[in-house]
Amino acid sequence: GESVGLHLPTLSVQEGDNSIINCAYSNSASDYFIWYKQESGKGPQFIIDIRSNMDKRQGQRVTVLLNKTVKHLSLQIAATQPGDSAVYFCAERQRRVQGAQKLVFGQGTRLTINP
């Protein structure tokens, strides 16, 4: 079935270190990928996106890498800060479902920052 999975459910890093969150996706037809951050009591918040015709995209302190050969996506956060503590989801956009746009989310990785 459809799924976007994650290699690790939890990740603990030291403040100031770089974090790498990984994600495996299953649908090779997906054309667009997004990373979301979800803090406790809040909805998912957009971090960064990447189209399937790209292999890397950089934002402020974040970089997303896409490897279509092995259907793998990663989110790199530079100089991790306490405010980065959250659950991170990757999501893939599948082709139209009856005209609609549908995102398939992974289970999520909880990122914890140690002082």
Taking the C-alpha atoms of residue 30 and residue 53, their distance in angstroms, rounded to an integer, is 11
Q: Is the dihedral of CA 54, 57, 26, 30 positive or negative?
A: negative
Q: Which is nearer to other proteins, 14 or 45 (CB)?
A: 45
Q: Which is nearer to other proteins, 42 or 115 (CB)?
A: 42
Q: How far is CA 95 from CA 27, 28, 102, 105, in A?
A: 10, 11, 8, 14
**Cβ of residue 14: shortest distance to other proteins, in angstroms?**
25
Contact residues for other proteins, defined by CB under 8 A: 4, 31-32, 34, 36, 41-46, 49, 51, 89, 91, 93, 95-108
Q: Which is nearer to other proteins, 99 or 115 (CB)?
A: 99
Q: Which is nearer to other proteins, 10 or 67 (CB)?
A: 10
The SS3 assignment for 39 reads coil
**Cβ of residue 113: shortest distance to other proteins, in angstroms?**
20
Taking the C-alpha atoms of residue 32 and residue 42, their distance in angstroms, rounded to an integer, is 24
**Cβ of residue 76: shortest distance to other proteins, in angstroms?**
20
**Cβ of residue 35: shortest distance to other proteins, in angstroms?**
11
Q: How far is CA 31 from CA 19, 51, 98, in A?
A: 25, 6, 17
